[in-house]
Amino acid sequence: MSAADDISTILSSGIRLTVPLAFAACGEYLAERAGTMNISLEAMMLGAAFGSVATASATGSATTGLVAGVLIGLLIGFVHGNLAHRLEVNTFVVGLVLNALVLGLTSYLITISSFDSHQVTQVSVPWLRDIPLIGHPLFVERWPVYLLLLIVPLTWWLVERSRWGLELRAVGEQPQAADVTGIRVNLRRRQALLWCGALAGLGGAYLAVGEVGSFNQNMTAGRGYIVIAAVIFGAWRLGRTLLGCVLFGLADAMRLALPALGLTMNSQLLVVAPYLLALVAMLVFTTRNREPKSLGQPFVRGST
């Protein structure tokens, strides 16, 4: 194998590992701009991964599985939103409980059931796939990958240009002021969580019926947390958040590729690389912090 092939392989695998993160990151980014620290991202991804495989197996259609994944993400977003922004349960506690619940539930369900393998179809773009080095990684992918081309700009437009997004940002920064201005703070936060749930669900489902074709126990393996770290790494800007996802994806790809390349670098070290990256990012970015001012703080009218 030539070096170019190696690079191409690592890029391919890096992109495939980045895609689920990128979907979820678009969701988490929007939820955090609205002021919710959505820890249950992991539950959304894992639940969707399981649901998509189960549905794909039952219906024989991977695409239907993908839709089911989105619905499961929405459901978890709905539950999180209502617990955190209607009943005022601490958002971190809600997230941790949902993560534990979904992990336990899916681990149990997979032991008592067996599913057929289904995968969404692969798209191969003629001509472009022949570009050296990046042609194959970028232009031979499962079709949901190309949804990102729609969802990333849409997320940016929603947050930065739409009235809904303006209100989301207001709610994430100073909910009391937003309330006085007549914005329904907790409604907006619940809506943001639904968007987050749908996209995290898409990410989780893509991982299962897109990439792997089956479900195994704890298959997201902390990817939800990686995405949360990516949003921090990106200092609450979409472009940098996605860059964070790419870095984490590539670090993951390196880890998988090293043995094949015959390198004897300690792969355990590479497993922690994304997390180290997140830590360093937090150290670097705390000085010029652009965190939404009310991130993670519940809104109750009358308290200032």
Partner 1 sequence: MTTVDERARELTPPSTPALRLRGVSKRYGPVVASDNVDLDVNHGEIHGLLGENGAGKSTLMKILLGLVQRDSGTIMRGDTPVAVRDPQDAVALGIGMVHQHFSLIDALTVWENVILGDTGRIDRAAACRQVEEVSRRYGLPIDPTARVERLSAGERQRVELIKCLRRDPSVLILDEPTSVLTQAESAELFTVLRHVVRAENRAVILISHKLAEITAATDRVTVLRKGKVVFHSPTGDTTPPELARWMVGRDVSLRAEGAALGMLPVDGAAPSGDPPAQTTAESPSGAEAEAVTPAETTAEPAAGAGSGIAPALRLRDLTVVIDGVTVLSELSLDVAPGEIVGLYGVEGNGQSTLGDLLSGLVLPSSGTVELTGRPVELERPGALHRAGLGIIPEDRHSSGVVLDMSVAENLVMKSIGDVSGRGFVSRRKMHAVARRLAAEFNIVAPSLDAPVRSLSGGNQQRVVLARELSAGPSVLVAAQPTHGLDVGAIEDMYQRLRDAASEGVAVLLISTELEEVMALASRIAVICSGRITGVLPAAEATAERLGMLVGGVAA
What residues form DSSP beta bridges with 142? 122
Residue 304 binds partner 1, judged by CB under 8 A: yes
Residue 210 buriedness (CB in 10 A; 0-12 / 13-18 / 19+): buried
Near partner 1 in 94-123, by CB under 8 A? none
Residue 162 binds partner 1, judged by CB under 8 A: yes
Sole binder of partner 1 in the list 5, 161, 271, 300 (CB under 8 A): 161
Which of 163/288 has CB closer to partner 1? 163
Smallest CA-to-CA distance from 192 within 34, 24, 76, 83 is with: 34
Sole binder of partner 1 in the list 112, 163, 264, 266 (CB under 8 A): 163
Smallest CA-to-CA distance from 52 within 136, 145, 116, 104 is with: 116
Residue 237 buriedness (CB in 10 A; 0-12 / 13-18 / 19+): middle
Sole binder of partner 1 in the list 90, 122, 284, 293 (CB under 8 A): 293
Residue 297 binds partner 1, judged by CB under 8 A: no
Which of 162/217 has CB closer to partner 1? 162
Among 57-65, 126-134, 157-165, 240-248, which window interacts with partner 1 (CB under 8 A)?
A: 157-165
Near partner 1 in 264-283, by CB under 8 A? none
Query: In the complex, what is the shortest distance from the CB of residue 61 to partner 1, in angstroms, rounded to a whole number?
Result: 37
Distances (CA, A) of 276 to 19, 119, 159, 255, 279: 21, 33, 29, 14, 5
Q: Tell me which residue has tokens 């898409």.
A: 202
Query: In the complex, what is the shortest distance from the CB of residue 273 to partner 1, in angstroms, rounded to a whole number?
Result: 33
Residue 288 binds partner 1, judged by CB under 8 A: no
Q: Tell me which residue has tokens 């652009």.
A: 290
Smallest CA-to-CA distance from 145 within 172, 122, 111 is with: 122
Which of 266/288 has CB closer to partner 1? 288
Residue 263 buriedness (CB in 10 A; 0-12 / 13-18 / 19+): exposed
Query: In the complex, what is the shortest distance from the CB of residue 78 to partner 1, in angstroms, rounded to a whole number?
Result: 25
Smallest CA-to-CA distance from 241 within 48, 11, 32, 9 is with: 32
Which of 39/170 has CB closer to partner 1? 170
Fill in the per-residue mask, 31 to 60: x = in contact with partner 1 (CB under 8 A), - = not in contact.
------------------------------
Near partner 1 in 170-189, by CB under 8 A? 170, 173-174, 176-178, 180-183
Distance CA 179, CA 109 (A): 43
Query: In the complex, what is the shortest distance from the CB of residue 242 to partner 1, in angstroms, rounded to a whole number?
Result: 21
Rg (CA), the chain: 19
Distance CA 36, CA 171 (A): 10
Among 95-103, 109-117, 133-141, 168-176, which window interacts with partner 1 (CB under 8 A)?
A: 168-176
Residue 167 binds partner 1, judged by CB under 8 A: yes
Sites of contact with partner 1 (CB under 8 A): 161-163, 166-167, 169-170, 173-174, 176-178, 180-183, 292-293, 304
